[in-house]
Structure 1
Amino acid sequence: MSDALRDAMQRWLAHLRGLEGASEQTILAYGSDLRGFLTFLHVYQGESLGVARLARLSTADMRAWMAHERGRGLSARSLARALSSVKSFVRWLSDREGFDATAPLSVRPPRFQRKLPRPLAEDAAVAMIAQVDLQAQDPWVAARDVAVLTLLYGCGLRISEALSLTGADLPLGDSLRIMGKGRKERMVPLLPAARAAVESYLRLCPYPVAADLPLFRGKRGGALNGRLIAKAMEQARMALGLPATATPHAMRHSFATHLLSAGGDLRAIQELLGHASLATTQVYTAVDQARLMEVYRAAHPRR
């Protein structure tokens, strides 16, 4: 790889990190995808790589790489993500170097069946929170876990978003300001039940609350690790006989699915979840339709 291309790659990753607010996990994935593509291209062409070579990328180059990736067992879903990474870099590079990237950007990703979210039933979501409240030995730990799960289910937060709350978010009002993926800010309504759960936890928490400290704490006072919430749910789902899909993220799925089932507007749910694209939110319509068909098949008198 030429120095110019290596420098371009680093500047692109810095662009993703700084201007687009991509997470470090996303940066690592994009960098890995691009390096894999460039390694293939070097071996495939048998020549050193520079910006000029990428300016000559053809659909044949892209298809040869995709065929190679599928041949070594990469799933269609993973290949689609890798293709998205490569296209992102080529688009960024073409804008700065002034070449026509129509050919590589026109290559279509492989089709794959999107996995539907696996929400809990309404009574199961409520039972999950109640079970977590019963199983912790320390009352303040039980209150903490209940508060976190209530935020996930009652406000549709990601576990990372709930655990990123600090003392600066207090006192709680009718809404929460959440910094989501890509450093995108959104306001979510705070249900009275969620506010009460957090306030109950704060009354019992043995550690002081400060604006620069995390709201949810571990037993030793440090920031709460999300894995502890996952373990609490794992214990609870075994007691309740729920499937392994009953995870913290399933509580967020349940929030969206239950709102949609109750007649919630898809655009409003998109805003509440912090999805950049409506297409991401639309997957919940498929979940709702699947549930409806299950009810239909079970209840129709001519089944």
Structure 2
Amino acid sequence: MAIKDFFRWLCRENEILHNPASELEMPRGERKLPKTPLTASEAERILNLPDITGPLGLRDRALLELLYSTGIRRMEAVRLALEDVQFERRMLAVRQGKGKKDRMTPIGERALSWLEKYLADSRPQLAHRSREQTLFLSAYGDALAPDYLSRLVIDYVKRAEVGKPGGCHLFRHTCATLMLENGADIRFIQQLLGHANLSTTQIYTDVSISQLQRVHAMTHPAR
């Protein structure tokens, strides 16, 4: 990409008339499998770690439940506003996601229940007198910083001792993989995760090894 950018800059500065790299096909990066996702029981171990007797722990539980239920990205989570949670429709408005695109994504009843508890019992304490409209707040009443959210989730994953490193994206991978293993159509997963290309979502089909093993065991005549 550096070559294309350089010649594009030369054209913009009128140093050259034509960009010789405009038709150049750059090698695609290697398609890598996501890190090993969590099992459902491992995810539950992490979700049960926050101390929900305090406002920060209750916030953390609601946050983790949201990540697990929707598979949204780190930046999408910290940008959520109060108005983005549509309780009656059980939907979440994800605004300005990757590619600057908005989308609607479903959210499970359990995650919604924890969000209701957070909004009723925790957020008012964190907000103090702040008029901040961001959904998730810090101890000082400010919007959460992306790096803070990453460290927060990574810490809970480490404390759960599941032997799988990761943070927010680990929950994203887990959400997609477990839903695929339970029969979700890959195009639904594509829309849920906000992938522009189906090929991006298809990486998760390679991770669903346990589903492949189950189908093989049930259908192969020489089992």
Normalised to the residue count of structure 2, the TM-score between the two structures is 0.79
Letter aligned with residue 216 of structure 1: F
Match of 1:50 in 2: 15
Shift of the alpha carbon at 1:194? 0.9
- Distance verdict in 2 for CA 1:170–1:125, change over 3 Å: closer
Matches within 5 A, 1:80-229: 90=22, 104-105=23-24, 107=25, 109-110=26-27, 112-118=29-35, 119-131=37-49, 133-134=50-51, 139-169=54-84, 172-173=87-88, 174-179=90-95, 180-202=97-119, 203-205=121-123, 206=125, 207=127, 213-229=133-149
* Separation in structure 1 between the aligned mates of residue 30 and residue 210 of structure 2, nearest angstrom: 15
* Separation in structure 2 between the aligned mates of residue 126 and residue 38 of structure 1, nearest angstrom: 50
Tell me which stretches of 4 or more aligned residues in structure 1 moved more than 6 Å. none
Check whether the contact 2:94–2:104 (CA below 8 A) recurs between aligned residues. yes
Shift of the alpha carbon at 1:35? 4.3
Shift of the alpha carbon at 1:279? 0.6
Check whether the contact 1:145–1:229 (CA below 8 A) recurs between aligned residues. no
* Separation in structure 1 between the aligned mates of residue 8 and residue 99 of structure 2, nearest angstrom: 26
Shift of the alpha carbon at 1:38? 6.5
Mean alpha-carbon deviation: is it higher for 175-184 or for 188-197? 175-184
* Separation in structure 2 between the aligned mates of residue 212 and residue 295 of structure 1, nearest angstrom: 50
Q: Which residues of structure 2 form unaligned runs of 5+?
A: 217-223
Shift of the alpha carbon at 1:120? 1.3
Q: Give the number of equivalent residue pairs.
A: 211
* Separation in structure 1 between the aligned mates of residue 99 and residue 28 of structure 2, nearest angstrom: 26
- Distance verdict in 2 for CA 1:185–1:238, change over 3 Å: closer
More helix as a share of residues: 1
- Distance verdict in 2 for CA 1:276–1:111, change over 3 Å: closer
Shift of the alpha carbon at 1:228? 2.8
Match of 2:200 in 1: 280
- Distance verdict in 2 for CA 1:171–1:242, change over 3 Å: same
Match of 2:220 in 1: none
- Distance verdict in 2 for CA 1:182–1:244, change over 3 Å: same
Normalised to the residue count of structure 1, the TM-score between the two structures is 0.60
CA RMSD, aligned part only?
Answer: 3.3
Q: Which residues of structure 1 form unaligned runs of 5+?
A: 1-29, 42-47, 63-89, 91-103, 297-303
* Separation in structure 1 between the aligned mates of residue 27 and residue 206 of structure 2, nearest angstrom: 21
Q: Radius of gyration: which is bigger?
A: 1
